[in-house]
Amino acid sequence: MIRLKIKNKLKRSLISLTFIYAFCAFIICFVVISHLNASIVTHNISQANDANSKTSLKEVPNFTMNTVPNEAIDISFSYDDKYCTYLYNSEIYVKEIGTNKLIKKISEKSGIRKSILMGNRNIIMYFYILNSKLEVKTYNIENGLIAEQKSFAVPKNSAIKSVDYSNATNLIFINLEQISGNNKIDSIYYLNIMKNVRKIYPGHSVNNMLLANNSLALYFEDNNNNLYCHSKLIPGIKREHIIGCDSNDNVYARSLDNKSIIYVVNNNNLIKTRRLNDLNFVGFYTNKNSVYVIYKNYIINLTNNARLNYNNELRFIGMGGLNVYFKDNNDHIVGLKRTI
């Protein structure tokens, strides 16, 4: 009996000690793992901070532009930075940025006159005239399908002068120029989401047309560089050139008489005037969200005054979703992470 009691007591002691040792081991492991985890997290944050502190420009993979001639127009980069599209010799080329692979070449009998890569989808709209009909088609890059969106009759000897499109309203405005003898007559057609077409006679030449993002407001210049909205002359502005609009439908136009002045208008009102301190700009760019002044080694966002510096050996080409694209001295495309 005594031996049995001693044996049971020893057994209980061993169980208690085992539990104590296990608990201690758990605490030690927990502390060690927590310390290691904290070290890893802290290390990653430190690396990220170091990367950001070194430079605001991060080079991304480039692809050769040897097959993209300097004469190419309508060069665009997709919102997800996957594709580059351009129009050359009346044909559309679609290239995959990461691989330099030619995804598609689109041709039409009469030649494509205008192409637009949508700002929020990998879909290209393109336009041409065949047999006195204006054709509007789309190419979906993701599934490879071409679809006819609209076909309608236009006067003979018509030519597509310009096109603009709004992602928000899905409106398309097309400026056609008809040549009749020595006269040139401009007509504007607009196509809505229901694919209904309406023709507008502005009464004078239409140059450098721009459609607002969120409304029916259409801006254009005449041959004397007067600015119109809704076919009404905007007062207080003379001799200007439209350069773009922002996400709030403010339209920016530069003065042709004073290189430092930028007019900002909304509907038929001049709302403010901006002045450029550096007049050595090489051009302007808009993605219909912001308007940019391009210099040889930096870019200024006119909508928020943000600045992006870059190597002056690069030549600005355009913007995608997160990247700004340039050509280097070897005619390769170089992408830099956007900070503006």
Contact 198, 150 (CB under 8 A): no
Report residue 246 CA to chain centroid gap.
12
Per DSSP, the residues of 273-336 read EEE-S-----EEEE-SS-EEEE-SSEEEETTT--EEE--TTSEEEEE-SSEEEEE-TTSEEEEE
Low-confidence stretches of the chain (pLDDT < 70) are: 1-68
30-32-34-37 Cα dihedral, nearest 10 degrees: -140
Give the contacts of 111 (CB within 8 A, at least 6 positions apart): 90, 91, 128
pLDDT of the residue at 122: 97
CB 95 within 8 A of CB 78: no
Q: Are 334 and 328 in contact (CB under 8 A)?
A: yes
How far apart are the C-alpha atoms of 85 and 79, rounded to whole Å?
12
First to last CA, the chain: 87
What is the number of alpha carbons within 13 Å of residue 106 lying toward its C-beta? 25
Instruction: Give CA–CA dist 241/333, Å, rounded.
Output: 29
At 22, list the tokens.
Answer: 């296990």
Q: Where are the alpha helices (DSSP H) in the chain?
A: 2-54
SS3 assignment, position 49:
helix
Nearest to 213 by CA among 171, 268, 265, 162: 171
Q: Which residues pair with 221 in a beta bridge?
A: 207, 227
60 DSSP β-pair partners: 335
Q: What is the CB neighbour count within 10 angstroms for residue 258?
A: 13
pLDDT in tens, 218-234: 999 999 999 999 889 99
Looking at the DSSP assignment, which residues form a beta bridge with residue 252?
244, 264
* pLDDT score of 1: 47
**Token pair of 231, please?**
């076919």
d(CA 277, CA 254): 14
